[in-house]
Amino acid sequence: MGKTLFDKIWERHVVKEIDGGPSVLYIDRHFIHEVTSPQAFAGLNARGVNVFRPQQTIATADHNVPTENQHLPIKEELSRLQVEALKKNCAEHLIELYGLGHPFQGIVHVIGPELGITQPGMTIVCGDSHTSTHGAFGSIAFGIGTSEVEMVLASQCLLQSKPKLMRIRIEGQLNKGVVSKDLVLHILSKLSASGATGYAVEFAGSTIRNLSMEARMTICNMSIEMGARCGMIAPDETTFAYIKNRLFAPGQSKWENALAEWKQLFSDDDAVFDKEVVLQAEAMEPMITYGTNPGMGISVTGSIPSLDQIPSNDRTAFEKALKYMGWEAGTAVKGKKVDYVFIGSCTNSRIEDLRQVASFVQGKHKADDVEVWIVPGSKQVEKQAQEEGIDTILEQAGFKLRQPGCSACLGMNEDKIPAGKYCISTSNRNFEGRQGAGARTLLASPLTAAAAAITGVVSDVRDFLN
């Protein structure tokens, strides 16, 4: 029987099997940030243990940092202390830190790929659930808790049980105005927010093959929103071209060997998955969420379901979500008022996202009563956007490019959406209070978010195309 992509990588990383228990899995790359690492370092220090392989851990400050005036000391005391603790811990344990002010600083899931640290065939972890992003390169990448961060620091290994395997195949061509974020929100609306729990998901099919690396990252990023342990895509020429010549990519002398190995990373024709899902790209439309989990998505031209369309078990949750959102069942979402637009996060803050937004808003102007925050994923994205003149286009349209960080995706810094306000967000979670206590989040693609920034209401981006 053939092997899946997941099997091939997993088997190579098993250090030891435990009877009746999990496997000891070797971790190639470990990313850390200021929020989920301090207690892990404290644990190591309490045990008197050193970091086992400091060169395999890379740190950045992203969750808690301000997105304006990053050259000044962080105003909020607890945030500042957390960022300082990261600096101190990295210095003590000889870990490379791309902190505030460093030209490589940025959201951990943006900088790993853009620096060429993320490569096919690797096992990659981080104390952040969106680590699944790195699976877009054909790696096993997943989020872990702080105890597990401590384990990786101490031993470069984790105890892991092998998940079940699911393949989601998407075939056909995406319609105009429909981008990878819509694709993943569409999958979520079909599978639900727990539809892939316990599974590692491989995304495959002609639609996926035709996507850029940035678009693939958006999809793998949100695989955790289906509950998946990780999401992954087999590497191909698009992957190799993206990695080549990046700072930490294999150099000239090693490139051919690396490539030969990476080309073996695919699911064999006769590989068997525990579950298979097939979807058609032509059926997908620009998406928007109406509720309080990412599975509650509909076409931007659709209506919120009516109560009788919801399975009886889910009705309480549905009604609770609509009450929180301040909306009625059965009503259209298009045309509803928007107060804030947030374009950023590890889901959609890469250069391709900013290019899409810029090309859409060029020659248009922001609606007066909408606040728009555009937050690049990294210093390198910010620099590239400036070099391409994207910042100027955005300014002419009435927007401003802020500085890199997680920002309003989780509202840990001062970028919070006020209670009761509606925010169209390119981030990944519309949970109650995610963007600030009482904030109401509508998840959408960068294009759909940009359209709302121009009109001030939920809009169908296709009305502007052609």
Region 126-145 residues binding another protein, contact defined as CB under 8 A: 127-129, 131, 142-145
Q: Which residues contact 90 (CB under 8 A, 6 or more apart)?
A: 59, 96, 97
What DSSP string describes 349-393?
-SHHHHHHHHHHHTT----TT-EEEE--SBHHHHHHHHHTTHHHH
Q: Which stretch binds another protein (CB under 8 A): 234-242, 311-319, 334-342, 395-403?
A: 311-319
CA distance readout (Å), 447 to 134, 210, 292, 373, 395: 23, 19, 21, 14, 17
Record the tokens describing residue 247, joined without a space. Answer: 């700072």
Record the tokens describing residue 151, joined without a space. Answer: 């384990």
Q: Is the Cβ of residue 109 or residue 462 nearer to another protein in the bound state?
A: 109
How many Cβ atoms are within 10 Å of 285's Cβ, its own excluded?
19
Residue of 54, 172, 205, 227 that binds another protein (CB under 8 A): 227
Q: Is the Cβ of residue 22 or residue 335 nearer to another protein in the bound state?
A: 22
Residue of 107, 122, 410, 450 that binds another protein (CB under 8 A): 410
Residue-level length of the chain: 466
Estimate to the nearest angstrom the gap between the alpha carbon of 40 and the chain centroid.
23
Q: Is residue 146 within the footprint of another protein (CB under 8 A)? A: yes
Q: Which helix (H) or strand (E) holds 98?
A: strand 96-98
Q: Is the Cβ of residue 156 or residue 207 nearer to another protein in the bound state?
A: 156
Q: Is 11 exposed, middle or buried (0-12, 13-18, 19+ CB in 10 A)?
A: exposed
Q: Which stretch binds another protein (CB under 8 A): 16-24, 178-186, 297-305, 336-344?
A: 16-24
Q: Give the shortest CB-422-to-another protein separation in angstroms.
A: 18
How many Cβ atoms are within 10 Å of 46's Cβ, its own excluded?
9
Residue of 4, 119, 156, 267 that binds another protein (CB under 8 A): 156
Q: Is residue 347 within the footprint of another protein (CB under 8 A)? A: no
How many Cβ atoms are within 10 Å of 78's Cβ, its own excluded?
10
- Taking only Cα atoms into account, the Rg of the chain, rounded to an integer number of angstroms, comes to 21
Q: Give the shortest CB-62-to-another protein separation in angstroms.
A: 13
In degrees, to the nearest 5, what angle opens at C-alpha 402 toward C-alphas 396 and 407?
135
Going by DSSP bridges, is the β-strand pair 157-160/23-26 parallel, antiparallel, or unpaired? antiparallel
In degrees, to the nearest 5, what angle opens at C-alpha 217 toward C-alphas 366 and 135?
160
Distance CA 1, CA 158 (A): 28
Region 434-463 residues binding another protein, contact defined as CB under 8 A: 434, 437-438
Residue of 11, 256, 274, 314 that binds another protein (CB under 8 A): 314
- Beta partners for residue 31, in sequence order: 58, 126
Site mask, another protein, residues 234-273, x = CB under 8 A?
---------------------------x------------
Residue of 6, 38, 235, 424 that binds another protein (CB under 8 A): 38
Q: Is residue 73 within the footprint of another protein (CB under 8 A)? A: no
Q: Is the Cβ of residue 39 or residue 212 nearer to another protein in the bound state?
A: 39
Q: Is the Cβ of residue 11 or residue 395 nearer to another protein in the bound state?
A: 11
Residue of 11, 45, 49, 332 that binds another protein (CB under 8 A): 49
Region 275-294 residues binding another protein, contact defined as CB under 8 A: 293
Q: Which helix (H) or strand (E) holds 123?
A: strand 123-126
Q: Is residue 109 within the footprint of another protein (CB under 8 A)? A: no
Phi and psi angles of residue 57, each rounded to the nearest 5 degrees, phi first: -115, 135
Task: Count residues near another protein (CB under 8 A).
Answer: 70
- Beta partners for residue 443, in sequence order: 425
Q: Give the shortest CB-172-to-another protein separation in angstroms.
A: 30
Q: Is the Cβ of residue 261 or residue 463 nearer to another protein in the bound state?
A: 261
Q: Is 420 exposed, middle or buried (0-12, 13-18, 19+ CB in 10 A)?
A: exposed
Q: Is residue 22 within the footprint of another protein (CB under 8 A)? A: yes
Q: Which helix (H) or strand (E) holds 239?
A: helix 237-243
Q: Is the Cβ of residue 63 or residue 402 nearer to another protein in the bound state?
A: 63
Q: Give the shortest CB-143-to-another protein separation in angstroms.
A: 4
Region 168-197 residues binding another protein, contact defined as CB under 8 A: 193-194, 197
- Amino acid code (one letter) for 187: I
Residue of 317, 329, 367, 457 that binds another protein (CB under 8 A): 317
Which residues of the shown chain bind another protein in the complex (CB under 8 A)?
A: 12, 15-16, 18-22, 24, 26, 35-36, 38-39, 42-43, 47, 49, 52, 63-64, 78-79, 81-82, 85, 127-129, 131, 142-148, 150-151, 154-159, 161, 163, 193-194, 197-198, 224, 227, 229, 261, 293, 314, 316-317, 320, 410-412, 429, 431-434, 437-438
